[in-house]
Amino acid sequence: MKALELNNKKILVTGGSGFLGRQVIDCLVKAGANREKITVPRSRDCDLRLMENCKRAVDQQDIVIHLAAHVGGIGLNREKPAELFYDNLMMGTQLIHAAYQAVVEKFVCIGTICAYPKFTPVPFNEDNLWNGYPEETNAPYGVAKKALLVQLQAYRQQYGFNGIYLLPVNLYGPEDNFDPRSSHVIPALIRKVHDAQVKGEKTISVWGDGSPTREFLYSEDAARGIVMGTQFYNDPEPVNLGTGYEISIRDLINLICELMEFDGEIVWETDKPNGQPRRCLDTQRAAKAFGFTAQVDFKQGLKNTIDWWRQNAA
């Protein structure tokens, strides 16, 4: 398997200042990229929903890694479905088109597990991506991101444009988003437990009934997988990045409480949505195609994330 040499490449990483992006940049440098040749557009001065900004961003670049997304947990998905659809579609579709026009050598698009149908056989195999409509609460976001896969495959077919599409499962790790209005499940639960401990409260409330299952990928593992895909994968089929380890929300909050030494009561808000019933990936394609397997143990990853939040909560 011949690696794409990164040492003299100009690389654009959208979302490169974010939780995952910073780790992707570190992994790129470890893999031989020159940090001086990595460009990170900032949303405040480069709104990628505007075509002229996309054109400016991709100019003279060899590789584009598109991580930028307007994304959040189930609460944000319910509150702002139109924004999530529009922002993610416009950013992605215009950036791909601009990269094609600028003769970029390779485009790496990061998709979302929300693109899978609501009822997908577990573990989720990439071949099942189109066998149904996504879970309703995150469908606008999921469909917008899935459209980018269609675009990349079409541009490959018509123009020979080398674009790949990677599907990381739910991410977690230090430096995650802990804002209760937009955070995903792990930082949201860690923060709830921490806040209860700080206030001396003996109960915490959690959305749903605890029955849905999820799979989580440590952000460092995800970054490594993205860089391995960038170096070694050049095919049109989408590729899952995950661990294959499935845990229920009930077991997850119990484990977080155990690690944080919280012995209070958990109140389940069963009037709130559960989201997708099960989520667990088939990770064989990534292993076969470019040798990626996750390395960080889930319990250890949770401990690292909890420790980071306790040190940075203030």
Give the residue ranges of the annotated binding site: 15-21, 145, 168-171, 184, 192, 207, 214
Buried b (16+ CB within 10 A) or exposed e, 226-255: bbbbbbbbbeeebbbbbbbbbeebbebbee
First to last CA, the chain: 47
Of 100, 116, 141, 165, the active-site residue reads 141
Give the CA distances from residue 242 to residues 113, 119, 225, in Å, rounded to whole numbers and listed in that order.
10, 19, 9
Q: Residues 6 or more apart from 278 whose CB is under 8 A from it?
A: 122, 212, 213, 246
Q: Residues 6 or more apart from 192 whose CB is under 8 A from it?
A: 180, 204, 205, 206
Query: Among this protein's residues, is 218 annotated catalytic?
Result: no
For helices 81-101 and 51-58, angle between their N-to-C axes, nearest 10 degrees: 40
Give the CA distances from residue 250 to residues 138, 205, 212, 262, in Å, rounded to whole numbers and listed in that order.
21, 12, 8, 15
Amino acid at 48: L
Residue ranges of the annotated binding site for substrate are 192, 207, 214
Long-range contacts of 143-146 (CB under 8 A, 24+ apart): 143/85, 143/115, 144/84, 144/85, 144/86, 144/88, 144/89, 144/92, 145/69, 145/88, 145/92, 145/111, 145/112, 145/114, 145/115, 146/111, 146/115
Residue ranges of the annotated binding site for NADP(+) are 15-21, 145, 168-171, 184
Residue position matching structure tokens 């993205």 = 226
d(CA 181, CA 95): 28
Please list the active-site residues.
Answer: 141
